[in-house]
Amino acid sequence: MTRNTETHIRHIEDVLTYYHLNVYEWTACLIEDKCNLNLCVARSMDLPYVGCSSHKLNLEVMKMIENSNNITQTLENAKQIMQVWLSSSNNRAMLEILTDLSPILPSQTR
């Protein structure tokens, strides 16, 4: 067991102890991204390891998009339209009048 693994296990134990919970009674599995350290922590604690579902979903959606030219082109067109439209401060101000929500343009993920 590496020092990082021990540090992570100690942190998990400390947090649960703070709330007066037994780590092995209250921990059913470890759910995180696919980091070797996280997998090592789960194995060291003798817990099932479940990878991050949202990360897995994102990878599958990105694979689907890459395999479909129609979807790729439609998303690229929508992205370009939003970037042009949102580059105007007047358009952003109008949007703020209509809603408290603010669009977030896509960014690269792992």
Q: Tell me the DSSP string of 19-42.
A: TT--HHHH---EEE-S-HHHHHHH
Return the domain boundaries, the chain: 3-53, 68-98
d(CA 31, CA 51): 5
The residues, ordered by sequence, that sit 6+ positions from 38 with a Cβ below 8 Å of its Cβ are 8, 30, 32, 49
- pTM of the shown model: 0.43
How many beta carbons lie within 10 A of that of residue 41, not counting itself?
24
pLDDT 10s digits, 64-88: 888 888 888 888 888 888 778 777 8
Report CA dihedral (8, 10, 13, 18) to the nearest 10 degrees: -110
